[in-house]
Amino acid sequence: MWKRSKRRDMADVNAYTAKRLNEMARSLGLLAKSCEDNRKDRRGLTKEDAMAAMQMSAAMVCEGCSRCNLYSGSDKEDSYYLHYLLRAFEQKGRVDFEDMPRFFGETCRRRDHYLEQLNRNLGRATMNLEWKNRFMESRDTVMVQFRELAVILEEFACQMEQATDITEAKGEAVKRQFRFHHMAVENLLLLEYENMQREAYLTVRTTNGKCVTAREAAEVLGKAMGSRRWYAPKDTRALVTRQAATIRFSEAGSYRMMYGVARQAKDGAAVSGDNFTYSENTPGQVLMSLSDGMGSGEQACEESRRVVELTQQLLETGFSSRGAIKMVNTVLLMSGMEEHPVTVDLCCVDLHTGVLEAMKMGAVATFVAGEKGVEILEASQVPAGVLGMAEPVLLSRKLWDGDRVVMVTDGVLDACPGEDKEAGLREYIESMESCSVQEMAEDILQFACGEEKCFRDDMTVLVAGIWKR
C-alpha cells in the first residue's frame, strides 16, 4: 500500500512539474511577444535626425543669422527638401554644395563652415543609428532565444505528460527476477513513452555481498520485462553493489545502426575544415551531423567542430532537432559569426520506429538508398550564424531494414562529374554493389575524386546503415 502511494506521489510530482514547465514556457513566450510589440524598426535616418543635425549646425555657425532661413523653412510637414537631403547623404556619405538649395549658396556667408558641420552632425547621427540597430538586432536574437526556450520547455512538459507509468503491471515480475539473481529492488519506476520506448529507474543492491555489472543487471531486467535487449546508458552507474543505488536502464530499439566515414582535406591544408559526429548516447536514438566551416584549414575546422559538439550536446540533453539547430544558430549570431558561417546537416534516427528526421542549414542534399532506389532529401537554406530568423526545414522519412543514409559536404558534391551533380551521385549510389558502410563511404569519395590529383575543397562522406534486430 505504501509503495502504491509512493508511485501515485511520483505521478503527482510529474504532473506538477509538467504544469510548472508549461507555465514557464508561457511566461517566456509572453516576454518575447512583449519585446516584439514594443519594437520600432529603424533602418535609416529620419526627418527628425536631419532637423536635429541642421539645428545643431545652425547653433554652431549661424549665430542668429536668418538671411537664408534654411532651418525654419525646412520645419514643415510637407518639406521635400529634408527627404532629398537624407537620400543624398545616404548615397554619397556626405552632402555637397549642389545638394543644397540655390538660395543657400547665394546668401550664406559661411556656407563652407555650415556644410562641414552639417556633414559632421549627419555622420554622428548615422553612427548612433548603426549602434542602435545593432542593439535592436541583439535584442531580436535574445527574443529568438526566449521563443526557442519556450518551445523546448513545452516539448519537455509534453513528454512528461505522455509518459505512462507501467510499474504496477511489471513491478512484481522485475523484483522476482532480480531476487532470483541475488539482487533486491528497493524501489523502481517503469515508464513507457509515446514511441513505445521504455525506461526504468531501479534502486537496487546485491544480497550476497558480490558486485554485479550494470550490463548483467540489464539482461536480468530484459528477462523480467519479456522484451528486447535492455542496456544501461553511459551516464548511469556501472555496478550494482551492497549499497543501494539508483540505476537507469533503457530499452534498445527494434533497429540497430552502423556507420562509416571517408575524408579528404583540401590540398595545402593540414586539417580538414569539415567535422562530423555519430552518437548513440541518446536512448533509442542515433544522431549524425556534418558541419562544413567556411574556407579550409584550422580555423574552419575549429568552427565546424564547435558546431557539431554543441549540436550533439543539446540533442543529448533533450532538445528537439529543430530546437537544437535554432539554438546553435542563435549562439553563432551572438558570438559574431556572420563573417564565418558554417553549414549544419543533422540526421536523427529513432531506433524504435526507424523514422529519420533530417534538418539542414546551408547543407547539401542527403541521399537515402533503399530497395526502391535512391531518394534525395534537399532543403535550400542559409548557413548557420547568418540570419537570426532563419528556420531549418524538417525532412522526415521512414527507413527500412538495409537502407543506407549518405551524408556529404559540398566539396564532395562539387567534385562529382557532370553538370547535374546530385543526379550523377544518385546514379552512382544506385549502381553500387552491396558492401559495408565503410567501403561505401570510401567508394563514394573515390568516385567524387576521380582521377583528380588536386583537391579544391575539403570532402567528407558519412554513411550509416540500419538493420532490424
Of 160, 175, 207, which residue sits at a domain end? 160
* Distances in whole angstroms, Cα of residue 77 to Cα of each of 58, 86, 404: 20, 15, 67
- 23 with 102, same domain: the answer is yes
Backbone phi, psi, residue 188, to 5°: -155, 155
Tell me the residue length of the chain: 469
* Three-class SS of 383-452: CECCCCCCCCEEEEEECCCCCEEEEECHHHHHHCCCCCHHHHHHHHHHHCCCCCHHHHHHHHHHHHHCCC
pTM: 0.69
Backbone phi, psi, residue 216, to 5°: -65, -40
- 127 with 9, same domain: the answer is yes
Which residues constitute the domain of residue 363?
255-468
- 241 with 259, same domain: the answer is no
- 131 with 176, same domain: the answer is no
- 236 with 117, same domain: the answer is no
Output the nine-digit C-alpha cell for 282. 541518446
pLDDT at 1: 44
- 275 with 404, same domain: the answer is yes
- 94 with 187, same domain: the answer is no
* Distances in whole angstroms, Cα of residue 310 to Cα of each of 101, 227, 307: 58, 34, 5
CA atoms of 257 and 259, how far apart (whole Å): 7
CB 430 within 8 A of CB 369: yes
Over the chain (469 residues), the average pLDDT of each successive run of 10 is 49 67 74 61 67 73 65 53 72 77 72 78 79 72 73 73 80 93 92 80 93 93 86 87 92 90 84 88 86 78 84 78 76 62 86 89 89 84 52 83 93 87 92 92 90 79 93
- 145 with 183, same domain: the answer is no
Rg for the chain (alpha carbons), in Å?
A: 32
- 350 with 373, same domain: the answer is yes
- 442 with 298, same domain: the answer is yes
Give the position of cell 554513411: 463
pLDDT at 402: 93
DSSP E strands in 37-168: the ranges are 164-165
Of 160, 183, 215, which residue sits at a domain end? 160
CA atoms of 149 and 318, how far apart (whole Å): 12
CB 406 within 8 A of CB 467: no
Number of independent structural domains in the chain: 3
CA atoms of 373 and 358, how far apart (whole Å): 19
CA atoms of 188 and 240, how far apart (whole Å): 14
- 149 with 3, same domain: the answer is yes
Of 119, 139, 160, which residue sits at a domain end? 160
pLDDT at 305: 86
* CATH number of the domain to which 378 belongs: 3.60.40.10
- 23 with 122, same domain: the answer is yes
CA atoms of 242 and 379, how far apart (whole Å): 54
Backbone phi, psi, residue 217, to 5°: -65, -35
